[in-house]
Structures are given as structure tokens and as C-alpha cells.
Amino acid sequence: MKAQRLFQVLGLLDEDLIDEAWTYVPEKKVPLLRRSPWLRGAAVAACCVVMCTFGFFYLVTGGFRGMGSAAPETAAPETAADSADAGNSSGGSGSTADFLSYAGPVLPLTTLESGTGLTAQRSLTWDFAPGSYDDGSPRQWGALVTDDYTLANPTGSDISVTALYPVTGSLADLGTITPEVTVNSSAAEVTLYAGGYAGTFGDANDTGGSTWNLAGPYSWEDYAALLEDGSFLQDALKSGPAMEIPVTVYRFSDFSAPHETYDAATQAVEFTIDTSATTILSYGFNGLTSDAETGWRRYDYFVPDGIRNESEQKMLIVLGEDLSGYTLQGYANGACEDPISGVSCTVIREETTLSAVVTELCRAELSQHTDESQWPGLSQLPLPLYEKAAAELLSEYSLLSDTPMDRYTDGRLEDLLWDALAVDRVLYLAVPVTIPAGDSTSLSITFWKEPSYDFGGSGTGREGLQGFEVLTAAGSGLNFTGQTTAIVHADGVEILKQDLGLSPEDDGTFVPLDLTRDVYALVIRPRTRSE
């Protein structure tokens, strides 16, 4: 698991420290700028803080299990309820947007075709049956959502449509979401589409117009606005941007260094480019030092030793004018200040396309995430889906764009490729459905829904609470005649705030939703064993 995601999952590190580590840019040296080695050092320091903090919490709590998923036992129910109220920015109007980690709402079904004459009835079930830890003890986290639809055809002819069900999440989340679709109670063949990045760049920690950080989406309104005019869906169904751009690739391999003497032996490649005619992307390099005025560059990497988790796939991708030449130099460490001998590699130059490079590197990234306990299903992600997501970030936000984001100005493809997996987006499950004349067809979608939540130890008073939202109409062109919702297996949760009209005592009883309302919200707290 990469460190940035580790910070997010653990949730115990002070948010300011996380932001400092991952947005840190060192003071500029005139005329040189070196980013990555110091970023790496800041991340290591932050990791040390994580481990120290976790050691403390482990001693106090008797273990990490349940951190961030169970409310403090000392909190009285009315206090927790007050905290839930405080976490809803619009009170009774339904919102969980103020949680530090916002998971997005449950969205309604739509169809590719418009004006079909179909009507739809929706029944949404929240299943709070607890999951379990590896030792078999219960873990109350998230909800199993079953979203049932009855599509009715009042016309005298059969109607065939492509049903599209939107799910909020990331490509990396797919193995956990595990959506299943049935049509008339039979498993359906589903085609998966992925919409683009649903957020923006430049959050509250960025200053002076900086766009280093990912930002949002932060609320159901963000998703509703994203889906409003249908363009996001249409883009999701299209092929990705064409990457048939000629490139020259320099591959580095057959590494050798005196590791017995220098634990952090480093190799650097130096050259000068005309920045108006040449763009450089990199993969597998640890550091970049550059002079913006002269076009001088130095890319460096720790020489792989077969022991540390250091990638042996290292490439420089040149777009535009090729390099006129380069030099290689070994150093004692990543600071590149103490030249040494005995460091060598093989460099192979080849001409290809950016599309071929993206395919190769996407495949390489997926091959690094085969641990099912850590990355369930990620290694099985359809490669074309990943390639499209990467191509979209490349064309819209990287150095290939007319307005690149600061986050990608170093040209580090490993960072962009990870973001392509991890950023929030809307995923569409597409299934063909035929509704006979004067009859109806049932469609059911089941998936695991992550809650919105606050990180454990954040000090908000809402730690342990879980928030959920459902939207009645956003992005859907269906003519709904009614929508209902129910909860089941709610014995292990306490409902702190909701405007759905649900009650744990009415297990499985469906209540109607007002179709003139955009959103409904639900905030729950897992009960402790003593309750």
C-alpha cells in the first residue's frame, strides 16, 4: 500500500502533518529546483510519526481493530447525536458533506436512451448486517446496498434499452464494491465504464493558486452538478483520448553499484533540452533537479539492489525533439553531491508511441497490486479501463495539457498512474434490458457502500459515525412513479440522524420517498458489545 493511501486509511496522523508531508515543496535554490528526494524524506518523517502515534493508540486501546469504525465508549448517545447534527451542513435537508472522508451518494438508475416512454419504480434497501475481521469477530462498517427497479412498458411495442447504473468510487475500490446486477432475478452480463476524475485541483492547503492537491468532490451537490447536463456520462461511454503520439524512450536496465560500500548508491542522468521543443516524462526515477532558464535536467534513482522495494523499470519518455546527448554519473546517495565510481547500467533507446508506453506502464502498475488482502480485485481491473483513465489525466492535467496542474509538472508517470486508480469518479454498470409491450422487467443492483466518516483521532467528535446519502433524480432520465427505502439487520447500529422515515424496529419495512426532494441522508453509529 503506498504511503499516501496508508495515511488516509490509518486516519490517526494529524491532518496538518499529512498535508505538510505530501504537499511539501522545498525552498528554491537559484537556479536549481529539486523536489522528489526531499518529498521522499518528508514522507519518511511523517511515516515515523504515524508509527509512534499508532504505538501509543495500540497500548491505550489494546489493538487497532475498530479504530475509526466504533464510537468512543464514553460518548453518551445524545452527545453522539449532537455530533451527527453538527456534521450535517443543511440540517434536515439531508447532507453528510462535513465528514472528513466523503464517500459520495447512492445514485439512481438511468438509461442510455431518452424519451423511451418507460416508467420506473425504485426500492432501495440498506443492509447493516455486520461483516467480520479475520478472527471472525464482527465489524460494523458500511452497508450492503440493494437498489431494485421495476421498469414498466405501457406501450404496445417491446422496448430495448441500455440500463446504466452509476456507482461512486475509484477504480481501486472496485474489488471492494463488488457490484452485482440481475435482470428478472438472473445474473446479467455487465459492461463497466468509468467517468473521469470527479474533483478538481487545489484545496484549502494550497496557496497562491497552487494546484498540487486533489480537491473534492466534497458533497452530493458536487455529484449532482457533475451529472446534470449528461456530458459526464457521454464522456464516460467514449473511448479515451488518442495517445498515438510519437515518443523516444530511454530504458535503463542491468544495474550495478558498490552496494556493500554505499547503501543508497544512486545513479543520475544529465542533459539539456529546449523546453519549448521537448517534454520529458519519467517512470521509476526518484529525483529531479532542473534549471528552468537553461533547460538543464538531472534525473536520479537509487540503484536497485534486489533487496529494497526499488523498481527496476526505469524510463525517460521524450516528446518532441530528441535528446542531443546525456551523461551518467554515480553518487554515494540521493543528494547527488558525492560522485563515486562503479555505478553502471545499460541504456536502450527506442522509438514508439505514447499509447504503447501507457499500456506497458498500466500493466506494470497492476502487476504490483496482486495482494488480494490489500488490493482486492485490483489486479483483475480491465486494462483498457485503466488505460483510458490514465490517458484522460495525461491529456487534461499533465504536461501534455495547455494548462497542466502543479501536481503533474514534474512529469512523474508513477504519480499520475496511481491517481488514475485512486481518484474519485462515477463508475457506470451497463446492461441491455428489454421490456415487453404492456409488461415490466425487474432490475436489481447490489453493492457494498463505503460510508462517509471522520478519521479516528481527528478530534471532531464525530469519529465512529458513518454517513450515507441517496439521491432521487440526479443524472437520471427515467420517469419515476415512486421510490421507497428500508433498512434490514439494524440491530448492531444506532440511527443518530436521518430524514428517511426509517426505524430499526421496522426491519424490512419500506417507506416512501418524496420525489420532489433531491437528497436523503442517514447517519449511524455501530453499537458496542455492551449496548
Q: Write down the mean pLDDT value for the chain.
A: 84
pLDDT of residue 452: 96
CB 455 within 8 A of CB 188: no
Do 332 and 475 fall into the same domain? no
Q: How many domains does the chain have?
A: 3
pLDDT of residue 59: 32
In the listed set 377, 397, 422, which residue is the last one of a domain according to the structure?
A: 422
Classify the C-alpha dihedral 256-260-261-264 as positive or negative: positive
397, part of any domain: yes
200, part of any domain: yes
Burial class for 364, CB neighbours closer than 10 Å (0-12, 13-18, 19+) = middle
Report which of 429, 462, 393 is spatially closest to residue 168, judged by C-alpha positions: 429
Task: Give every CB contact of residue 500 below 8 A, 6+ residues apart in sequence.
Answer: 470, 485, 511, 513, 520, 521, 522
In the listed set 387, 422, 457, which residue is the last one of a domain according to the structure?
A: 422
User: Cell 498515438 identifies what position?
Assistant: 244
- CA atoms of 223 and 51, how far apart (whole Å): 36
- CA atoms of 456 and 454, how far apart (whole Å): 6
Do 127 and 154 fall into the same domain? yes
Do 89 and 37 fall into the same domain? no
Do 416 and 367 fall into the same domain? yes
CB 482 within 8 A of CB 512: yes
Regions of the chain with pLDDT less than 50: 1-93
Do 303 and 335 fall into the same domain? yes
Do 122 and 170 fall into the same domain? yes
pLDDT of residue 98: 85
pLDDT of residue 529: 63
Do 366 and 321 fall into the same domain? yes
In the listed set 27, 61, 95, which residue is the last one of a domain according to the structure?
A: 61
The whole-model pTM stands at 0.82
pLDDT of residue 135: 80
Do 384 and 445 fall into the same domain? no
Range of the domain at 16: 3-61
- CA atoms of 281 and 318, how far apart (whole Å): 7
Q: What is the largest CA-CA distance in the chain?
A: 83
pLDDT of residue 377: 87
pLDDT digits (tens, 9 = 90+) for 50-61: 444 433 333 333
Do 288 and 232 fall into the same domain? no
71, part of any domain: no
pLDDT of residue 2: 35
Do 228 and 295 fall into the same domain? no
Report which of 25, 398, 407, 23 is spatially closest to residue 211, judged by C-alpha positions: 407
- CA atoms of 358 and 378, how far apart (whole Å): 17
pLDDT of residue 97: 59
Q: For residue 468, what is the domain's CATH number?
A: 2.60.40
- CA atoms of 316 and 273, how far apart (whole Å): 13
